[in-house]
A and B are shown apart, each in its own frame.
Chain A
């Protein structure tokens, strides 16, 4: 009854091609943005901001990055964790060498380094396809992880071998480092994620997105209609790694405040792949859904027994979480192999005809 496009006429092409053609969708987005920018900062405590919202947004961005590559271009990658690492280490080096430049600029710029590495490891993608490519990206994952540990220059020769995030200010307010409040970090993360999601949405709805999708659906046919496969695939690697790199830099600088190379291990790559698949391949909103489910589910599972006063050993709770998450992944795939985004679409379709059945 409420969600209906009746009477919303489009009189030019621009309106027809808009990302949110329905008025209710635009209102919904506005409401979400208001909640994110106004309500959460007002009511949010440290736990909500630091433990849930910041990581959720960062993982969403990484999932969007992987989704551009795997969901839109059909190139399966297991090296996401390492590409995130490249972003984080690049950001550390940049801000060490040029400490006076705004840290937010460096966080975005570090994406370009990640892009370059991504393109390098994407080079074999023209010849190698499917699972073979996935294993090829594992080479990137393990090689880069080894670099993070073995090249002391990357972590500024710190004794612990970890990234130590220095204090950086933005207009006098501490942005990174131990004194930065979770509120400023949250707002920075939110702004970057919103802006980059908007850019991603424009990319995938435009010519480049169409090219990627045609390569995904059948690369030979795409080549025949005049798409240069090599360029298109490398572009996908570049953009995807850029997103992952920025996510990695934000993860260390605006969330953890310091990290070892283990953070970018293979588990991280798998986690983000989960988010993409569970959320829905080839949808941006699915990346958010997947990130919410995969990241927040274990936290919720850990909180539930404590809240109900059920005595359970922490180790056992951890193991139960594994069992439940594993089972849920299978259940979700069985129920809706196209991911949460498809459920969302079905829900919207139902809402459109509600309360009448036709």
Chain B
């Protein structure tokens, strides 16, 4: 009976008794969730347009951030370095399209998935070779990102909000809005949606698949760079980020592989669920449940909705 009390009653009692702690936890979860959502966004962009499950999205985040910091260390001014990094992501997109996607066109999904694994290994080695394997500090000040914290006093107590977190949420929202406009209103955006719907139909009306793939990988690269800057500013730029990026997978599952709103909602659910679970139920199990809770939440959802929350219904024909 006591264990049932600890599981089903005690956490909620704690939540009501200390609403400021609850708010803090929710905020932390929200920020974490926004960053997961950003990584998932990169996945979704590429999956929609090319059907490639891009495992390298996580390492692209690290690679972009490393390039930015590395260039700055070599004396390049911060904003020039930012421009150069975007250029590097463009070159990467071209390289991936030319050397990987084009020769592998029409192969089965798992082969393409494996190829992005190869890309991951390549980028890990290459990044370490060029910029060194040590963790680096993100150049947040030079990019005029705010630092420090503000105390927010509600009628229930203090909540401390890191300014960088607020900036992350704002920038992420702006980026999603820009992407939405880009997808809905521009010529290229329409072409992207056409490709996402059907490769063959898109080809038949004269849309160049190659061009679309470069654009999509470049867009994912820019998303990766933004994620890298935000995440790097919160902790540091290191290759361990790549493992955190695996958290984007349950987010994708929740949202569905093809839905941009799904990526965002999924990210928030996972981020908040994970933090709440760790804070209120984690001690019961000895802590550290953050590592797998996201996957189990996703698994639970999946059993009831195999295509994710917002994914298109899977129709199978023989």
Contact = CB atoms under 8 A, between A and B. Distances in A.
Interface centre among A128, A130, A322 (most CB of B within 10 A): A322
Given A76-B110, A128-B302, A330 B115 contact: yes
Contacts of A266: 243, 246
B192 to A, nearest CB: 21
B262 interface: no
Contacts of B119: 326, 330
Contacts of A273: 114, 117
A46 to B, nearest CB: 30
Interface residues of A, number: 47
Nearest to B308: A132
Interface stretch (A83-91, A143-151, A204-212): A143-151
Interface stretch (A54-62, A168-176, A217-225): A217-225
Contacts of A101: none
A127 interface: yes
A128 to B, nearest CB: 5
B77 interface: no
A39 interface: no
Contacts of A215: none
Interface stretch (B14-22, B27-35, B65-73, B282-290): B282-290
Closest 6 CB pairs of A and B: A322-B125, A326-B121, A326-B122, A329-B118, A139-B295, A323-B125
A36 interface: no
Interface string B236-256: 000000010010011011000
Interface residues of B, number: 51
A266 B296 CA distance: 16
Interface stretch (A155-163, A233-241, A312-320): A312-320
B72 to A, nearest CB: 21
Given A322-B128, A323-B126, A330-B122, A124 B104 contact: no
A277 B306 CA distance: 26
Contacts of A128: 302-303, 306
B57 to A, nearest CB: 13
B114 A333 contact: yes
Interface of A: 70, 76, 124, 127-132, 135-136, 138-139, 142-143, 145-146, 149-150, 218, 220-221, 224, 266, 270, 273-274, 277-278, 281, 315-316, 319-330, 333-334, 337
B292 interface: yes
B129 interface: yes
Contact of A132 (B123, B286, B302): B302
B318 A220 contact: yes
Given A320-B125, A326-B120, A333 B115 contact: yes
A61 B126 CA distance: 31
Given A143-B292, A319-B125, 20 more contacts: A124-B299, A135-B249, A135-B295, A136-B298, A139-B296, A142-B292, A145-B292, A220-B316, A266-B243, A266-B246, A319-B128, A320-B125, A322-B124, A322-B128, A325-B118, A326-B118, A326-B120, A326-B123, A333-B104, A333-B111
Interface string B266-308: 0000000000000000000110110110011011001100111
Contacts of B308: 132
A100 B124 CA distance: 47
A337 B112 CA distance: 9
Contacts of A221: 318
20 contacts: A128-B303, A129-B306, A131-B257, A135-B250, A135-B253, A139-B299, A142-B292, A145-B292, A220-B316, A273-B117, A274-B117, A323-B126, A325-B125, A327-B122, A328-B118, A329-B117, A330-B115, A330-B119, A330-B122, A333-B115
Most chain A CB neighbours (cut-off 10 Å) among B117, B250, B285, B299: B299
Contacts of A124: 299, 302-303
B177 to A, nearest CB: 28
B252 A277 contact: no
A146 B114 contact: no
B103 interface: yes
Contacts of A142: 291-292, 295
A319 B217 CA distance: 25
B103 A334 contact: yes
Given A270-B117, A277-B111, A329-B117, A323 B122 contact: yes
A35 to B, nearest CB: 31
B53 interface: yes
Given A139-B295, A319-B125, A327 B109 contact: no
Most A CB within 10 A of own CB, among B114, B128, B257, B302:
B114
Contacts of B157: none
Given A124-B299, A327-B118, A330-B100, A131 B113 contact: yes
A76 B252 CA distance: 17
Interface in B170-223: none
A277 B117 CA distance: 11
A333 B118 contact: yes
A334 B124 contact: no
A135 B124 contact: no
Contacts of B303: 124, 127-128
Contacts of B115: 329-330, 333-334
A150 B286 contact: yes
B135 interface: no
